[in-house]
Amino acid sequence: MYDPAEVARNIDGHLLSVLAAAVVACVGGIIQYGEGVRRGFVDRSHAIPLATNMYIFAHDVTYVSMYGRWFGAGGHWFNRLFWMFILPFVALELIVFGQMLRYSRREFMPGLGPGQSALAMIALQIGFFFLFWFLRALGPDPMYLVSFTTTIIVSNLFYIPMTLKRHSRCGQSVLLSAGLICLTWGWTAVMLQLAPAFRSSVWVGLLACNALVPVANLVVLLQFPAARAARRGERAPDLSATPIGGPSRLSPPVRHDSRPGD
């Protein structure tokens, strides 16, 4: 798919622009999980969608376990920096799993007790490991550039369905959505600089569509009230029907379907 030697030359040859875009992406990832964990405790609900957290966990654990490859002979400093960056995220992802079991198990595993939910999540996680490894086997990706891109795509896909299901911003915030935009746009700028393969029509189309999804997520999120307002039964302003400077029109009452677990 791409020549790792060429990617290494492009990173070294465009050092400042690649690092600047990577910093934007890293800041976005920190916001996504840092704010996500914080909102999870505040709203007593998980903030990272189940499928997103499981897929990213499979990626991060696999990448971290390959320490010898990245820090051995022939490893590039870009992959080493990436290894050090994602190492703390494994702990954050485990915290999110704990929030799911403590607060949200009735939301996605109704009728199951705590032990049954834990076993079901372990089985699902094993399945996600095999899904990740299957996708890895479809083509050569020696520097994990494509694999990391898939984690961002999976990150973006499930926030809108979660918001629509909950009818509120429970577990989410404008800051978290802004973090997703930084993560996606920053990594898109990195990929476009790394190799001609990532500037093909297929890749440009994929990256462009993926860059629009977190923006759509923010637009959708703004249509719903915060978690506390939803619990009080307050109505959210219908922003799409509100002229600038004019009176706002209220949408129908919203409700919050998720119930914290025991």
Q: Tell me the whole-structure pTM to 2 decimals.
A: 0.85
Residue 252's pLDDT band, with cuts at 50, 70 and 90, is very low
Q: How far is CA 197 from the centre of its chain?
A: 24
d(CA 253, CA 42) in angstroms, rounded, equals: 23
- Residue 47, both tokens: 């903030």
Question: Helix count (H) and strand count (E) of the chain?
Answer: 12, 0
Residue 246's pLDDT band, with cuts at 50, 70 and 90, is very low
Residue 253's pLDDT band, with cuts at 50, 70 and 90, is very low
Query: Using CB atoms within 10 A of its CB, is residue 182 exposed (0-12), middle (13-18) or buried (19+)?
Result: buried
Residue 256's pLDDT band, with cuts at 50, 70 and 90, is very low
**More confident: 186 or 112:** 186
Is the separation of the CB atoms in 148 and 184 below 8 Å? no
Judge whether residue 35 has pLDDT over 70. yes
Domain ranges of the chain: 4-241
Encoded amino acid at 41, one letter:
F
SS3 call for 249: coil
Angle subtended by helix axes 201-221 and 145-157, to nearest 10:
30
For the stretch 194-235, pLDDT in tens is: 999 999 999 999 999 999 999 999 999 999 988 665 555 544
Q: Which residues contact 166 (CB under 8 A, 6 or more apart)?
A: 45, 224, 230, 256, 257, 258
Q: Can you give the pLDDT at residue 111?
A: 84
Mean local confidence (pLDDT), 95-122: 91
